[in-house]
A and B are shown apart, each in its own frame.
Chain A
């Protein structure tokens, strides 16, 4: 067990600069409302909400090796719990804010019990079917859900309608959500999840209950996707059936792939890049999907570990040069480098660049 302990210690050492870097990013993001007009601020707010959606989805994809094409279901559920509770029960937003992730988790439990009987592509397609089921049912049951138009109105408390307040609220919820998710990935549970992804048979042979671990991951991911769905209502003051559509479920996957599925904050980075780039693309190209498709192709074929992976690699090259110049300072061997590429712990990743 000795090497593992050393590795863990090395990892702990990397956590401090990563946390410092992340804290710096949060501070910069928190200051944005003071220096930005409302319209672009709303765009950043949307990206921050999607960052939680993408990171929650990546708990399944990057950590669990489970490609769910149906996380839009839980995103939509989060939005609709808040919207329907307001519409039918006149419930307080704060109560529904707490209830939405719980409902998302419960639905994920039911869906997971079913979907996790299958593997790989069948799992992807079955989760897709679950989200499409919600998509068509929500569209059809007009009396209860508002049909294709969705639900809109003063769903959120009035003080959140102020652009800066809405933004800060979103940022706060996402920071808390990401910290919680990060703790999940660092826990023994998160480690076991990765072990299952790497070698399911071996994990089984070691006595790990694979199904239970994957089910719990699915429930946690569903709950946090639902929380991100609540933030969509804060952003858009509406809930609409398109949130359930399979194309919506595709976005967090692309954000994870674009940003880097093997680093914790990679998907968040992907969400920020995607949202900003989409605005630029929509403004300057008529064929924005074409450009986005080409970018995705290039990322998958050339940089499978995404932008965070690229930054991490660049950072490690710089670090390697630095070590060559001052070998005594860091103790010489570039041993910490090898595990970065295939290790989704990734507290290294882009933050190594920040640190150096």
Chain B
């Protein structure tokens, strides 16, 4: 029994960082109607940034500093990107938008390679979160529980932000009808910058959170963006709750694949996405695109 619980918890650990990344992607899409491929770059910057701040020293306060400072720095980069580039493509067709964010993805990819090199890096878990807890007959790492906890807090925080604050009210209004919102006196360009910064912050946080869980190397940007696409498309682009459901579904599919059909495992997530979209073309919690 405890074996199943541990397997389930490892799946949730995978889901946690994925959810935080996908939540940012889906939030930006919901309001700005842009699929930001460079979201993967922001994630990678988050992970690489943590390796720089933490350094080789295990444990200590540096990890906590990195967990806060790195996402904020990535968010700032997101703000600059939105103001200088993305703002110009909102009125263009979705092909132009995809190509522009892909161009940013390429540029950021080379920048990351320049700054951090091509060697794989690892981030030691801080000593407070090291070790593991005993669950029945098995052991489960404390850091993984921490990651799940952060994802839950982020999810609840986003829900509160969107449902209970004036900013959230405006973001939801921008999803519904941006012209009406503008004529009601809201500074929509500023709101869009804010949303994009928030999205980049989430990507940076997801990267920072995921850094100790994996080896940090080039190619992280491309692999996470594909997973985040799948998660947010399954959940329904624009839906935070959908991103949470999608992340858990994908993580469970992956785990099931590893357990029962290892040689077909990588195909599972794509089959899941194709199956969901064949039945519900707008994702589980999405609404039909106009």
Contacts and interface: CB of A to CB of B under 8 A. Distances in A.
Interface string B12-53: 000000000000000001000001000000000000000000
Nearest to A294: B107
B114 A121 contact: no
Interface stretch (A19-27, A111-119, A160-168, A310-318): A111-119
B4 interface: no
Given A287-B114, A294-B107, A301 B226 contact: no
B107 A122 contact: no
Given A141-B263, A296-B102, A300-B89, A126 B96 contact: no
Given A114-B274, A300-B100, A289 B266 contact: no
B277 interface: yes
Interface stretch (A74-82, A250-258, A322-330): A250-258
Interface in A242-270: 246-247, 250, 253-254, 257, 261
Interface centre among B29, B95, B265 (most CB of A within 10 A): B95
Contacts of B274: 114, 126, 129-130, 133
Contact of A297 (B103, B237, B281, B282): B103
B111 A290 contact: yes
B103 A246 contact: no
A289 B267 CA distance: 29
A126 B230 CA distance: 9
B73 interface: no
Nearest to A132: B270
Interface in A112-144: 114, 117-122, 124-126, 128-130, 132-133, 136-137, 139-141
Size class of the contact patch on chain A: 35 or more
A291 to B, nearest CB: 8
A235 B152 CA distance: 51
Given A257-B99, A290-B111, A125 B92 contact: no
Contact of A121 (B109, B226, B237, B267): B237
B271 interface: yes
B94 interface: yes
Given A120-B94, A290-B106, A290-B110, A140 B99 contact: no
B200 to A, nearest CB: 18
A126 B89 CA distance: 23
Nearest to B104: A293
B264 A125 contact: no
Contacts of A126: 233, 273-274, 277
A124 B94 contact: yes
Contacts of B85: 297, 301
Given A140-B263, A253-B99, A300-B100, A67 B278 contact: no
A118 B267 contact: no
B95 A61 contact: yes
A292 interface: yes
B62 interface: no
Given A114-B278, A121-B289, A137 B233 contact: no
Contacts of B109: 289
A304 interface: yes
B154 interface: no
Interface in A270-307: 287-290, 292-294, 296-297, 300-301, 304
Nearest to B38: A293
Given A129-B230, A290-B107, A136 B270 contact: yes
A133 B271 contact: yes
B94 A121 contact: yes
B100 A67 contact: no
Interface in B80-95: 85, 88-89, 92, 94-95
A284 B228 CA distance: 35
Nearest to A250: B102
B7 interface: no
Given A117-B277, A290-B107, A125 B229 contact: yes
B94 A67 contact: yes
Interface centre among B109, B113, B263, B281 (most CB of A within 10 A): B281
A136 B107 contact: no
B128 to A, nearest CB: 38
Given A114-B278, A122-B237, A129 B273 contact: yes
Contact of A289 (B88, B110, B237, B273): B110
Interface string B95-139: 110111011111101110110000000000000000000000000
Contacts of A293: 102-107, 110
A122 B106 contact: no
A300 B86 CA distance: 11
Contact of A125 (B105, B107, B114, B233): B233
B194 interface: no
Given A114-B274, A140-B267, A297-B100, A304 B106 contact: no
B278 A117 contact: yes
B106 A296 contact: yes
25 contacts: A67-B95, A67-B98, A114-B274, A114-B277, A117-B278, A117-B281, A118-B281, A119-B281, A121-B29, A122-B282, A124-B94, A125-B35, A125-B229, A129-B274, A130-B270, A133-B271, A140-B265, A287-B114, A293-B105, A293-B110, A296-B102, A300-B92, A300-B96, A300-B99, A301-B85
Given A121-B98, A129-B274, 11 more contacts: A121-B94, A121-B289, A125-B35, A126-B233, A139-B266, A140-B267, A141-B263, A253-B95, A254-B99, A292-B103, A293-B102
